[in-house]
């Protein structure tokens, strides 16, 4: 969008910024008030879960030139799908065996009364640059947690975590450490326990990781 003077000539960037500072009416109309993207996403998931616009951008283009590096992760989007009765029963019981025992007389109406989720939620995040050695594991963990937090907020079950990366790279001084990581023992996946019902008031101590087991320290140096 171009902002123009009364004579039809466009504002320069400097003129536009100065106008925002000196003209309250102009600032009220065109100033950046900020957008709560997470609140909008949660609202859309609750009210329009089949939307193809369940997206959040992590970039603020007007601030890029103020950063040492632009964000590696520049956005994520969500997808939902409705479960049929069989899948809802399996999720409710926690396993196929229990669903055979306890789920024979269960109906969607009964599950609705229990406020058991009807849908599953998947999250796909995109990165412009990916440091496989030091960064990717933290990216996976943070977006996995985000998927659980949003799922809890909108009463859905976490489903798939999907990753798309550009410039995916391994630094030469990380190769040996990554080989050690690939040959280390695998452990059972931990579970996430959230003790706070609202994402707005969530605190660090409200998040519990149950059953996590480490394979020990694998050292990697920072690379530029």
pLDDT digits (tens, 9 = 90+) for 180-218: 989 988 899 898 999 887 888 888 899 999 999 988 888
Phi and psi at 164, nearest 5°, equal: -130, 120
In a domain, 179, yes or no: yes
* 69 and 135 belong to one structural domain: yes
* 17 and 92 belong to one structural domain: no
* 78 and 12 belong to one structural domain: no
Catalytic annotation, residues: 72
- Taking only the tens place, the pLDDT of each residue in 131-189 is 999 999 999 999 999 999 999 999 999 999 999 999 999 999 999 999 998 998 889 98
In a domain, 146, yes or no: yes
Q: Report yes or no: 136 and 178 within 8 Å, Cβ to Cβ.
A: no
* 3 and 73 belong to one structural domain: no
38's CB contacts (< 8 A; 6+ apart) are 56, 199
* 9 and 29 belong to one structural domain: yes
Number of domains present in the structure of the chain: 2
The CATH number of residue 47's host domain is 3.30.572.10
* 16 and 120 belong to one structural domain: no
Using alpha carbons, list the distances in angstroms from residue 146 to 149, 155, 163, 174. 5, 14, 14, 28
Domain limits at 140? 37-184
Res. 96: pLDDT tops 70: no
182 alpha carbon, distance to own chain's centre = 26
* 1 and 93 belong to one structural domain: no
* 163 and 94 belong to one structural domain: yes
């Amino acid at each position: 969008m171009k902002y123009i003077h009364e004579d039809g000539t466009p504002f320069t960037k400097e003129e536009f910024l100065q106008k925002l500072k000196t003209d309250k009416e102009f600032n009220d109309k065109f100033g950046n008030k900020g957008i709560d993207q997470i609140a909008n996403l949660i609202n859309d998931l609750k009210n329009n879960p089949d939307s193809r616009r369940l997206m959040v951008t992590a970039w603020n283009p007007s601030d890029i030139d103020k950063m040492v590096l632009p964000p590696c992760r520049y956005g994520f989007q969500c997808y939902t799908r409705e479960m049929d009765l069989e899948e809802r029963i399996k999720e409710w019981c926690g396993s196929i065996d229990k669903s055979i025992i306890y789920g024979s007389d269960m109906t969607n109406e009964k599950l609705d009364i229990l406020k058991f989720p009807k849908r599953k939620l998947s999250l796909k995040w995109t990165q412009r640059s990916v440091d496989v050695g030091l960064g990717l594991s933290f990216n996976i963990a943070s977006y996995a947690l985000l998927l659980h937090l949003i799922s809890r907020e909108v009463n859905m079950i976490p489903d798939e975590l999907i990753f798309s990366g550009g410039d995916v790279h391994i630094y030469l001084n990380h190769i040996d450490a990554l080989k050690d990581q690939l040959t280390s023992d695998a452990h059972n996946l931990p579970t996430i326990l959230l003790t706070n019902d609202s994402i707005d008031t969530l605190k660090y101590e409200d998040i519990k990781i149950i059953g996590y087991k480490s394979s020990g320290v694998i050292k990697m140096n920072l690379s530029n």
